[in-house]
């Protein structure tokens, strides 16, 4: 992989540091009164999801990381793993559920997700930003509690529990924001 000189550091580039891929979150150029120019960088480890700060001199460089994003279709669950199919190569990838950090409850069969690959291995999965799910159980609305911002707990077809407005009943389909796990709207049939 080509080396990236410190002068070319910018937000969003992917580099390898100590064998792990990192995403540059922030780069600040510092020119002290005397001496060499410095680049203060904040980077996120793409495997461990930790953030570090490093300072590089103007002559330093890092190796470019072989990180790419692509679309993948969720196929099925396999014990503690999830199986996805790459939409371009049709190759299947098995990913541990902990890679999704609890967001696997928003995966419906056939969902198109954004997969991040590092050395032909899936290291990150982003579910679709919104999903439509059916309410499998919720308490019936209490008469008189249908106005205002009153919410109640509801279980959806994926097994996740969410807060919905009091007027939502069992059997209805609702749209969920998968990034926050919150109710967006009722979906009309």
pLDDT in tens, 12-56: 899 999 989 998 999 999 988 888 889 999 999 988 889 999 999
Query: What digits encode the pLDDT tens for the residues 93-139?
Result: 999 988 888 888 999 999 999 999 988 888 889 999 999 999 999 98
29-66 burial, b if ≥16 CB within 10 A, otherwise e?
Answer: eeeeeeeeebbebbbeebeeeeeeeeebeeebebebbe
Q: How far is CA 186 from CA 60, 131, 133, 138, in A?
A: 54, 12, 10, 14
Domain 130-186 - what CATH class? mainly beta
6: confidence class by pLDDT, cuts 50, 70, 90: confident
Asked if 55 contacts 43 with a C-beta cutoff of 8 angstroms, the reply is: no
Tell me: pLDDT of 143 over 70: no
Q: What share of the chain has pLDDT > 90, as a percent?
A: 50
Domain 3-64 - what CATH class? mainly beta
Domain boundaries, the chain: 3-64, 67-126, 130-186
- The CATH architecture one would assign to domain 67-126 is Beta Barrel (2.40)
Cα 45–48–51 angle (5° rounding)?
45
Examine domains 67-126 and 130-186 and report if their fold is the same.
yes
């Amino acid at each position: 992989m080509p080396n990236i000189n410190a002068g070319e550091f910018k937000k969003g580039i992917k580099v390898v540091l100590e064998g792990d891929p990192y995403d540059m979150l922030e780069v600040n150029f510092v020119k002290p009164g005397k001496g060499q120019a410095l680049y203060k960088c904040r980077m996120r480890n793409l495997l461990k999801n930790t953030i570090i700060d490093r300072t590089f001199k103007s002559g330093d460089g890092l190796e470019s990381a072989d990180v790419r994003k692509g679309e993948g279709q969720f196929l099925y669950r396999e014990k503690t793993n999830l199986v996805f199919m790459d939409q371009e190569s049709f190759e299947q990838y098995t990913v541990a559920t902990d890679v999704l950090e609890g967001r696997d409850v928003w995966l419906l069969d056939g969902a198109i997700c954004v997969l991040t690959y590092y050395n032909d291995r899936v290291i990150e999965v982003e579910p679709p930003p919104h999903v439509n799910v059916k309410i499998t159980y919720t308490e019936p609305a209490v008469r008189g509690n249908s106005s205002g911002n009153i919410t109640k707990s509801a279980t959806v077809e994926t097994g996740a529990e969410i807060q919905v407005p009091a007027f939502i009943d069992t059997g209805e389909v609702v749209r969920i924001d998968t990034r926050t796990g919150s109710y967006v709207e009722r979906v009309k049939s």
